[in-house]
Chain A
Amino acid sequence: MLKVRVIPTLLWKNFGLVKGVGFDSWRRVGPVLPTIKVYNSREVDELILVDITASIEGHIPDHESVSDFSHECFVPLTVGGGIFNLSQITSLLRAGADKVSLNSALFENPGLVNDAAGQFGVQCVIVSIDAHRTERGSYTCFSHSGTRNTNREPLAWAKEMEDRGAGEILLTSVEHDGTMNGYDLELIERVASRVNIPVIASGGAGNYQDMIDAVTKAGAAAVAAASIFHFTEMTPLGAKDAMHEAGIPIRRRFEM
Protein backbone atom coordinates (compact mmCIF):
# COMPACT_ATOMS: atom_id res chain seq x y z
CA MET A 1 0.00 0.00 0.00
CA LEU A 2 1.30 3.44 -0.89
CA LYS A 3 1.81 5.82 1.98
CA VAL A 4 0.20 9.22 2.46
CA ARG A 5 2.92 11.82 2.04
CA VAL A 6 3.80 14.99 3.96
CA ILE A 7 5.46 17.48 1.63
CA PRO A 8 6.94 20.84 2.64
CA THR A 9 6.56 23.44 -0.09
CA LEU A 10 9.51 25.76 -0.54
CA LEU A 11 8.78 29.01 -2.33
CA TRP A 12 11.92 30.38 -3.87
CA LYS A 13 12.26 34.04 -4.72
CA ASN A 14 15.53 35.50 -5.97
CA PHE A 15 18.10 34.16 -3.51
CA GLY A 16 16.04 32.80 -0.69
CA LEU A 17 12.84 31.22 0.49
CA VAL A 18 9.73 33.24 1.19
CA LYS A 19 6.20 32.65 2.39
CA GLY A 20 3.17 34.86 1.89
CA VAL A 21 -0.51 35.02 2.63
CA GLY A 22 -2.94 34.58 -0.24
CA PHE A 23 -0.06 34.69 -2.77
CA ASP A 24 0.94 38.14 -1.52
CA SER A 25 2.92 40.00 1.20
CA TRP A 26 5.93 37.71 1.04
CA ARG A 27 8.16 37.25 4.06
CA ARG A 28 11.69 35.97 3.88
CA VAL A 29 12.05 32.67 5.70
CA GLY A 30 15.61 31.60 5.02
CA PRO A 31 18.14 30.24 2.55
CA VAL A 32 17.31 27.28 0.28
CA LEU A 33 20.11 24.75 0.68
CA PRO A 34 20.26 24.62 4.50
CA THR A 35 16.47 24.33 4.58
CA ILE A 36 16.60 21.34 2.22
CA LYS A 37 19.22 19.73 4.46
CA VAL A 38 17.10 20.26 7.56
CA TYR A 39 13.99 18.80 5.94
CA ASN A 40 16.01 15.79 4.78
CA SER A 41 17.17 15.14 8.31
CA ARG A 42 13.56 15.36 9.47
CA GLU A 43 12.37 12.58 7.20
CA VAL A 44 9.98 14.49 4.94
CA ASP A 45 8.53 12.30 2.19
CA GLU A 46 9.14 14.70 -0.69
CA LEU A 47 9.97 18.34 -1.31
CA ILE A 48 8.35 20.80 -3.70
CA LEU A 49 10.43 23.82 -4.71
CA VAL A 50 8.69 26.54 -6.69
CA ASP A 51 10.38 29.63 -8.10
CA ILE A 52 7.53 32.09 -7.65
CA THR A 53 9.04 34.86 -9.77
CA ALA A 54 9.90 32.61 -12.70
CA SER A 55 6.63 32.66 -14.66
CA ILE A 56 6.13 36.39 -14.12
CA GLU A 57 9.67 37.29 -15.10
CA GLY A 58 9.80 34.76 -17.91
CA HIS A 59 12.62 32.47 -16.83
CA ILE A 60 12.86 28.98 -15.36
CA PRO A 61 14.50 28.03 -12.07
CA ASP A 62 18.27 28.27 -12.43
CA HIS A 63 19.35 24.74 -13.20
CA GLU A 64 22.75 25.07 -11.58
CA SER A 65 21.04 25.92 -8.31
CA VAL A 66 18.54 23.10 -8.85
CA SER A 67 21.46 20.77 -9.39
CA ASP A 68 23.03 21.84 -6.07
CA PHE A 69 19.70 21.40 -4.29
CA SER A 70 18.91 18.02 -5.81
CA HIS A 71 22.27 16.59 -4.80
CA GLU A 72 21.43 17.32 -1.16
CA CYS A 73 17.94 15.93 -1.46
CA PHE A 74 17.56 12.25 -0.58
CA VAL A 75 13.82 12.21 -1.15
CA PRO A 76 11.98 12.99 -4.41
CA LEU A 77 12.27 16.64 -5.45
CA THR A 78 9.69 18.49 -7.52
CA VAL A 79 10.70 21.75 -9.17
CA GLY A 80 8.29 24.32 -10.59
CA GLY A 81 8.05 27.88 -11.81
CA GLY A 82 8.12 29.38 -15.29
CA ILE A 83 8.28 26.10 -17.18
CA PHE A 84 6.91 26.67 -20.69
CA ASN A 85 8.45 24.01 -22.91
CA LEU A 86 9.91 20.54 -23.17
CA SER A 87 13.55 21.60 -23.34
CA GLN A 88 13.17 23.43 -20.01
CA ILE A 89 11.73 20.25 -18.51
CA THR A 90 14.64 18.26 -19.91
CA SER A 91 17.16 20.63 -18.38
CA LEU A 92 15.50 20.57 -14.93
CA LEU A 93 15.25 16.77 -14.89
CA ARG A 94 18.90 16.57 -15.96
CA ALA A 95 19.76 18.90 -13.11
CA GLY A 96 18.30 16.29 -10.76
CA ALA A 97 14.66 17.21 -10.31
CA ASP A 98 12.58 14.04 -10.04
CA LYS A 99 9.40 15.76 -11.19
CA VAL A 100 8.39 19.11 -12.58
CA SER A 101 5.35 21.12 -11.61
CA LEU A 102 3.54 22.82 -14.50
CA ASN A 103 0.94 25.55 -14.20
CA SER A 104 0.81 28.87 -16.11
CA ALA A 105 2.03 27.54 -19.46
CA LEU A 106 -0.74 24.96 -19.67
CA PHE A 107 -3.55 27.45 -20.15
CA GLU A 108 -2.09 28.40 -23.54
CA ASN A 109 -0.45 25.07 -24.30
CA PRO A 110 -2.17 22.18 -22.51
CA GLY A 111 -0.45 19.74 -24.90
CA LEU A 112 2.77 20.30 -22.96
CA VAL A 113 1.41 17.77 -20.46
CA ASN A 114 0.96 15.16 -23.20
CA ASP A 115 4.45 15.85 -24.53
CA ALA A 116 6.14 15.77 -21.11
CA ALA A 117 4.32 12.61 -20.01
CA GLY A 118 5.10 10.94 -23.34
CA GLN A 119 8.77 11.75 -23.19
CA PHE A 120 9.57 11.39 -19.48
CA GLY A 121 6.66 9.37 -18.06
CA VAL A 122 3.58 10.46 -16.15
CA GLN A 123 5.45 10.17 -12.85
CA CYS A 124 7.51 13.25 -13.77
CA VAL A 125 4.54 15.53 -14.40
CA ILE A 126 2.73 17.34 -11.61
CA VAL A 127 0.06 19.79 -12.69
CA SER A 128 -0.29 22.61 -10.20
CA ILE A 129 -3.69 24.28 -9.96
CA ASP A 130 -4.14 27.52 -8.03
CA ALA A 131 -7.86 27.74 -7.37
CA HIS A 132 -9.62 30.94 -6.40
CA ARG A 133 -13.07 30.82 -4.85
CA THR A 134 -15.42 33.36 -6.34
CA GLU A 135 -18.08 35.26 -4.40
CA ARG A 136 -20.73 32.97 -5.82
CA GLY A 137 -18.99 29.95 -4.34
CA SER A 138 -17.65 28.57 -7.59
CA TYR A 139 -13.96 28.22 -8.37
CA THR A 140 -11.66 29.49 -11.07
CA CYS A 141 -8.01 28.73 -11.88
CA PHE A 142 -5.42 31.49 -11.55
CA SER A 143 -2.05 31.43 -13.29
CA HIS A 144 1.24 33.34 -12.93
CA SER A 145 1.52 32.97 -9.15
CA GLY A 146 -2.10 33.86 -8.59
CA THR A 147 -2.01 37.08 -10.63
CA ARG A 148 -4.13 36.16 -13.67
CA ASN A 149 -7.63 34.78 -13.85
CA THR A 150 -7.78 32.11 -16.54
CA ASN A 151 -11.56 31.65 -16.24
CA ARG A 152 -11.02 27.90 -16.25
CA GLU A 153 -12.98 25.79 -13.82
CA PRO A 154 -10.63 23.65 -11.65
CA LEU A 155 -12.64 20.40 -11.69
CA ALA A 156 -12.87 20.20 -15.45
CA TRP A 157 -9.31 21.44 -15.76
CA ALA A 158 -7.99 18.77 -13.38
CA LYS A 159 -9.86 16.09 -15.33
CA GLU A 160 -8.48 17.34 -18.64
CA MET A 161 -4.96 17.35 -17.19
CA GLU A 162 -5.39 13.78 -15.99
CA ASP A 163 -6.58 12.73 -19.44
CA ARG A 164 -3.55 14.40 -20.99
CA GLY A 165 -1.13 12.48 -18.78
CA ALA A 166 -0.62 14.37 -15.53
CA GLY A 167 0.74 12.07 -12.82
CA GLU A 168 -0.54 14.15 -9.89
CA ILE A 169 -2.45 17.34 -9.15
CA LEU A 170 -1.02 19.88 -6.70
CA LEU A 171 -4.16 21.74 -5.66
CA THR A 172 -3.70 25.05 -3.87
CA SER A 173 -6.45 27.28 -2.55
CA VAL A 174 -5.39 30.89 -3.16
CA GLU A 175 -7.63 32.20 -0.34
CA HIS A 176 -6.53 29.64 2.21
CA ASP A 177 -2.83 29.83 1.35
CA GLY A 178 -0.75 31.22 4.20
CA THR A 179 -3.72 31.73 6.51
CA MET A 180 -3.15 28.57 8.56
CA ASN A 181 -6.94 28.33 8.92
CA GLY A 182 -7.19 24.89 7.35
CA TYR A 183 -7.32 23.55 3.81
CA ASP A 184 -10.26 24.25 1.51
CA LEU A 185 -11.73 20.80 2.08
CA GLU A 186 -14.66 21.37 -0.26
CA LEU A 187 -12.33 22.20 -3.16
CA ILE A 188 -10.06 19.23 -2.44
CA GLU A 189 -12.95 16.83 -2.06
CA ARG A 190 -14.51 17.95 -5.33
CA VAL A 191 -11.30 17.59 -7.33
CA ALA A 192 -10.16 14.37 -5.61
CA SER A 193 -13.49 12.70 -6.33
CA ARG A 194 -13.32 13.75 -9.99
CA VAL A 195 -9.86 12.41 -10.87
CA ASN A 196 -8.14 9.06 -10.31
CA ILE A 197 -4.63 10.45 -9.93
CA PRO A 198 -3.26 11.57 -6.55
CA VAL A 199 -4.31 15.02 -5.36
CA ILE A 200 -1.87 16.89 -3.13
CA ALA A 201 -3.75 19.25 -0.78
CA SER A 202 -2.12 22.65 -0.47
CA GLY A 203 -2.89 26.00 1.10
CA GLY A 204 -4.03 26.66 4.65
CA ALA A 205 -2.65 23.92 6.91
CA GLY A 206 -2.51 25.37 10.42
CA ASN A 207 -2.34 22.26 12.56
CA TYR A 208 -2.04 18.50 12.29
CA GLN A 209 -5.79 17.98 12.38
CA ASP A 210 -6.10 20.03 9.16
CA MET A 211 -3.80 17.52 7.47
CA ILE A 212 -5.73 14.57 8.84
CA ASP A 213 -8.98 16.13 7.57
CA ALA A 214 -7.54 16.71 4.09
CA VAL A 215 -6.85 12.99 3.85
CA THR A 216 -9.78 11.41 5.69
CA LYS A 217 -12.54 13.89 4.82
CA ALA A 218 -11.44 15.21 1.42
CA GLY A 219 -9.51 12.28 -0.08
CA ALA A 220 -6.09 13.90 -0.54
CA ALA A 221 -3.24 11.46 -1.27
CA ALA A 222 -0.67 13.84 0.18
CA VAL A 223 -0.55 17.07 2.14
CA ALA A 224 1.68 20.00 1.28
CA ALA A 225 2.37 22.79 3.73
CA ALA A 226 4.72 25.72 4.23
CA SER A 227 3.72 28.29 6.87
CA ILE A 228 3.03 25.69 9.55
CA PHE A 229 6.61 24.43 9.21
CA HIS A 230 8.22 27.87 8.77
CA PHE A 231 6.38 29.80 11.47
CA THR A 232 5.30 27.34 14.16
CA GLU A 233 6.84 24.63 16.30
CA MET A 234 5.01 21.98 14.30
CA THR A 235 7.15 19.66 12.16
CA PRO A 236 6.68 17.13 9.35
CA LEU A 237 7.54 14.36 11.82
CA GLY A 238 4.93 15.63 14.25
CA ALA A 239 2.42 15.72 11.43
CA LYS A 240 3.19 12.14 10.50
CA ASP A 241 2.90 10.96 14.10
CA ALA A 242 -0.52 12.63 14.38
CA MET A 243 -1.64 11.13 11.08
CA HIS A 244 -0.45 7.71 12.18
CA GLU A 245 -2.48 8.08 15.41
CA ALA A 246 -5.49 8.89 13.24
CA GLY A 247 -5.05 5.62 11.35
CA ILE A 248 -3.56 7.09 8.16
CA PRO A 249 -0.82 4.96 6.57
CA ILE A 250 2.40 6.97 6.68
CA ARG A 251 5.99 6.13 5.96
CA ARG A 252 7.80 4.67 8.94
CA ARG A 253 10.65 6.49 10.57
CA PHE A 254 14.14 5.05 10.42
CA GLU A 255 17.28 6.18 12.24
CA MET A 256 20.65 4.91 11.10
Chain B
Amino acid sequence: MKVALINYGMGNLGSVRRALEDLGANVIIAEHPLMLLDANRLVLPGVGSFGAGMERLRNGGWIEALYQQVIEHHKPILGICLGMQMLSGLSEENGLHEGLNFIPGKVLRLDKLGCSLRIPHVGWNEVNYREGMGLFNKIPQAMDFYFVHSYAVVVEDPADVSATTSYGTTVTSAISRHNIFGTQFHPEKSSKSGKQILKNFLDYTPC
Protein backbone atom coordinates (compact mmCIF):
# COMPACT_ATOMS: atom_id res chain seq x y z
CA MET B 1 0.00 0.00 0.00
CA LYS B 2 1.60 3.22 -1.19
CA VAL B 3 0.44 6.35 0.59
CA ALA B 4 1.31 9.81 -0.71
CA LEU B 5 1.55 12.35 2.08
CA ILE B 6 1.10 15.70 0.40
CA ASN B 7 3.86 18.11 1.44
CA TYR B 8 2.69 21.57 0.47
CA GLY B 9 4.45 23.32 3.34
CA MET B 10 1.64 23.46 5.90
CA GLY B 11 2.60 21.68 9.06
CA ASN B 12 4.80 18.84 10.18
CA LEU B 13 4.37 15.45 8.55
CA GLY B 14 6.51 13.41 10.94
CA SER B 15 3.92 11.80 13.17
CA VAL B 16 1.42 11.10 10.36
CA ARG B 17 4.21 9.43 8.45
CA ARG B 18 5.35 7.31 11.39
CA ALA B 19 1.81 6.27 12.26
CA LEU B 20 1.14 5.16 8.68
CA GLU B 21 4.47 3.34 8.51
CA ASP B 22 3.68 1.53 11.75
CA LEU B 23 0.54 0.29 10.01
CA GLY B 24 2.64 -1.17 7.24
CA ALA B 25 2.14 1.51 4.60
CA ASN B 26 4.85 2.57 2.21
CA VAL B 27 4.74 6.33 2.74
CA ILE B 28 6.07 8.76 0.18
CA ILE B 29 6.36 12.42 1.04
CA ALA B 30 4.92 13.92 -2.14
CA GLU B 31 6.82 17.10 -2.96
CA HIS B 32 5.36 17.34 -6.48
CA PRO B 33 1.92 16.53 -7.97
CA LEU B 34 3.45 13.87 -10.25
CA MET B 35 4.26 11.89 -7.12
CA LEU B 36 0.54 11.23 -6.60
CA LEU B 37 0.28 9.15 -9.76
CA ASP B 38 1.32 5.74 -8.47
CA ALA B 39 0.02 6.14 -4.90
CA ASN B 40 -2.94 4.06 -3.69
CA ARG B 41 -3.94 6.52 -0.99
CA LEU B 42 -3.58 10.29 -0.58
CA VAL B 43 -3.33 12.13 2.71
CA LEU B 44 -3.77 15.90 2.85
CA PRO B 45 -2.65 17.13 6.28
CA GLY B 46 -2.39 20.73 7.32
CA VAL B 47 -2.01 23.23 10.10
CA GLY B 48 -2.49 26.93 9.48
CA SER B 49 -4.90 29.22 7.71
CA PHE B 50 -7.24 28.20 4.90
CA GLY B 51 -6.21 30.98 2.50
CA ALA B 52 -2.50 30.23 2.86
CA GLY B 53 -3.13 26.50 2.44
CA MET B 54 -5.13 26.91 -0.76
CA GLU B 55 -2.60 29.35 -2.17
CA ARG B 56 0.15 26.80 -1.66
CA LEU B 57 -1.94 24.08 -3.28
CA ARG B 58 -2.65 26.36 -6.22
CA ASN B 59 0.95 27.52 -6.67
CA GLY B 60 2.27 24.00 -6.40
CA GLY B 61 -0.05 22.74 -9.14
CA TRP B 62 -1.76 20.42 -6.66
CA ILE B 63 -5.35 21.40 -7.37
CA GLU B 64 -5.57 19.91 -10.88
CA ALA B 65 -3.62 16.84 -9.80
CA LEU B 66 -5.92 16.25 -6.83
CA TYR B 67 -9.01 16.71 -8.98
CA GLN B 68 -7.70 14.17 -11.45
CA GLN B 69 -6.70 11.59 -8.83
CA VAL B 70 -9.63 12.00 -6.45
CA ILE B 71 -12.58 12.87 -8.68
CA GLU B 72 -11.66 11.21 -11.98
CA HIS B 73 -9.69 8.20 -10.70
CA HIS B 74 -11.60 7.85 -7.38
CA LYS B 75 -8.42 7.51 -5.38
CA PRO B 76 -9.16 7.52 -1.63
CA ILE B 77 -8.07 10.72 0.12
CA LEU B 78 -8.00 11.68 3.79
CA GLY B 79 -7.93 15.35 4.71
CA ILE B 80 -6.83 16.10 8.26
CA CYS B 81 -7.84 19.30 10.10
CA LEU B 82 -7.12 22.13 7.63
CA GLY B 83 -6.86 19.35 5.03
CA MET B 84 -10.48 18.40 5.75
CA GLN B 85 -11.62 22.01 5.62
CA MET B 86 -10.01 22.49 2.21
CA LEU B 87 -12.11 19.61 0.84
CA SER B 88 -15.10 21.94 1.12
CA GLY B 89 -16.07 24.77 -1.20
CA LEU B 90 -15.55 28.01 0.65
CA SER B 91 -14.02 29.39 3.81
CA GLU B 92 -14.69 32.58 5.72
CA GLU B 93 -11.33 32.52 7.50
CA ASN B 94 -9.80 36.00 7.06
CA GLY B 95 -11.87 36.88 3.99
CA LEU B 96 -13.48 34.52 1.52
CA HIS B 97 -11.39 31.73 0.04
CA GLU B 98 -12.36 29.01 -2.39
CA GLY B 99 -11.61 25.43 -1.46
CA LEU B 100 -11.27 22.22 -3.46
CA ASN B 101 -15.06 21.70 -3.35
CA PHE B 102 -14.84 17.90 -3.32
CA ILE B 103 -17.54 17.89 -0.63
CA PRO B 104 -19.70 21.04 -0.98
CA GLY B 105 -19.94 23.12 2.15
CA LYS B 106 -18.34 26.04 3.87
CA VAL B 107 -15.98 26.74 6.69
CA LEU B 108 -17.10 29.07 9.48
CA ARG B 109 -15.59 30.26 12.75
CA LEU B 110 -16.90 28.29 15.73
CA ASP B 111 -18.60 31.31 17.31
CA LYS B 112 -20.58 31.84 14.11
CA LEU B 113 -21.82 28.29 14.56
CA GLY B 114 -23.17 29.18 17.99
CA CYS B 115 -20.22 28.10 20.11
CA SER B 116 -19.76 30.35 23.13
CA LEU B 117 -16.92 28.32 24.64
CA ARG B 118 -13.25 29.20 24.41
CA ILE B 119 -11.84 29.34 20.88
CA PRO B 120 -9.73 27.59 19.66
CA HIS B 121 -11.28 24.26 20.56
CA VAL B 122 -8.17 22.47 21.86
CA GLY B 123 -7.99 19.12 23.55
CA TRP B 124 -9.49 15.64 23.74
CA ASN B 125 -13.17 15.51 22.92
CA GLU B 126 -15.75 12.85 22.12
CA VAL B 127 -16.66 11.88 18.58
CA ASN B 128 -20.04 10.37 17.71
CA TYR B 129 -20.29 8.83 14.28
CA ARG B 130 -23.13 7.60 12.09
CA GLU B 131 -23.34 3.81 12.11
CA GLY B 132 -21.89 2.18 9.06
CA MET B 133 -19.16 4.77 8.58
CA GLY B 134 -16.15 2.69 7.57
CA LEU B 135 -13.63 5.21 8.84
CA PHE B 136 -14.87 4.49 12.39
CA ASN B 137 -14.80 0.72 12.06
CA LYS B 138 -13.98 -0.94 15.45
CA ILE B 139 -14.08 2.40 17.26
CA PRO B 140 -16.62 2.71 20.10
CA GLN B 141 -19.05 5.62 20.05
CA ALA B 142 -18.00 8.68 22.05
CA MET B 143 -14.30 7.81 21.78
CA ASP B 144 -11.97 10.76 22.38
CA PHE B 145 -9.83 12.36 19.70
CA TYR B 146 -7.48 15.34 19.75
CA PHE B 147 -8.77 18.62 18.32
CA VAL B 148 -7.05 21.96 17.60
CA HIS B 149 -9.17 24.34 15.53
CA SER B 150 -11.06 27.63 15.45
CA TYR B 151 -13.08 26.99 12.29
CA ALA B 152 -15.33 24.11 11.31
CA VAL B 153 -17.00 22.74 8.20
CA VAL B 154 -20.74 22.95 7.51
CA VAL B 155 -21.56 20.66 4.60
CA GLU B 156 -24.46 21.30 2.23
CA ASP B 157 -25.70 17.71 2.18
CA PRO B 158 -26.20 16.27 5.68
CA ALA B 159 -25.47 12.82 4.23
CA ASP B 160 -21.82 13.89 3.95
CA VAL B 161 -21.50 14.25 7.74
CA SER B 162 -19.98 11.11 9.18
CA ALA B 163 -19.32 12.28 12.75
CA THR B 164 -20.05 15.13 15.11
CA THR B 165 -18.62 16.47 18.35
CA SER B 166 -20.20 18.66 20.97
CA TYR B 167 -18.29 21.83 21.82
CA GLY B 168 -20.73 24.57 22.74
CA THR B 169 -22.51 23.64 19.51
CA THR B 170 -22.55 20.63 17.23
CA VAL B 171 -19.26 20.55 15.36
CA THR B 172 -18.81 18.41 12.24
CA SER B 173 -15.83 16.29 13.24
CA ALA B 174 -15.66 14.00 10.19
CA ILE B 175 -17.03 14.07 6.67
CA SER B 176 -17.05 11.55 3.86
CA ARG B 177 -18.41 11.04 0.39
CA HIS B 178 -17.45 7.89 -1.53
CA ASN B 179 -13.64 7.84 -1.65
CA ILE B 180 -13.24 11.21 0.09
CA PHE B 181 -12.71 11.43 3.86
CA GLY B 182 -11.95 14.24 6.26
CA THR B 183 -11.38 14.47 10.00
CA GLN B 184 -11.38 17.74 11.91
CA PHE B 185 -9.42 16.04 14.70
CA HIS B 186 -5.83 14.86 14.37
CA PRO B 187 -5.68 11.05 14.14
CA GLU B 188 -1.87 11.21 14.25
CA LYS B 189 -2.07 12.92 17.67
CA SER B 190 -4.98 10.84 18.94
CA SER B 191 -2.98 7.89 20.21
CA LYS B 192 -4.35 4.41 19.46
CA SER B 193 -7.85 5.46 18.49
CA GLY B 194 -6.33 7.80 15.91
CA LYS B 195 -4.18 5.01 14.59
CA GLN B 196 -7.31 2.87 14.14
CA ILE B 197 -8.79 5.67 11.98
CA LEU B 198 -5.68 5.66 9.80
CA LYS B 199 -5.83 1.87 9.60
CA ASN B 200 -9.47 2.03 8.52
CA PHE B 201 -8.53 4.53 5.83
CA LEU B 202 -5.82 2.20 4.54
CA ASP B 203 -8.25 -0.75 4.65
CA TYR B 204 -11.04 1.11 2.82
CA THR B 205 -12.32 -0.69 -0.25
CA PRO B 206 -14.86 0.98 -2.50
CA CYS B 207 -18.08 -1.02 -2.82
Contacts and interface: CB of A to CB of B under 8 A. Distances in A.
Interface of A: 1-3, 5, 40, 43, 45, 67, 70-76, 93-96, 98, 121-123, 167, 196-197, 251-252, 254-256
Given A70-B15, A254-B143, 9 more contacts: A2-B122, A3-B144, A67-B14, A73-B15, A75-B189, A123-B148, A251-B124, A252-B143, A254-B196
A251 B144 contact: yes
A67 B18 CA distance: 12
Nearest to A68: B14
Contacts of B71: none
B193 A1 contact: no
Nearest to A98: B189
B40 interface: no
23 contacts: A2-B122, A3-B124, A43-B191, A43-B192, A67-B14, A71-B15, A71-B17, A71-B18, A72-B18, A74-B15, A74-B18, A74-B188, A74-B190, A75-B189, A75-B190, A93-B12, A95-B12, A96-B14, A123-B122, A252-B140, A252-B143, A254-B143, A256-B192
A40 B15 CA distance: 12
B189 A3 contact: no
Interface of B: 12, 14-15, 17-19, 118, 120, 122-126, 138-140, 142-144, 146, 148, 150, 166-167, 188-196, 199
A254 B146 contact: no
Nearest to B139: A254
Nearest to A97: B12
Contact of A167 (B14, B122, B199): B122
A123 B118 CA distance: 11
Given A5-B123, A123-B148, A252-B143, A74 B14 contact: no
B191 A40 contact: yes
Contact of A123 (B120, B192, B199): B120
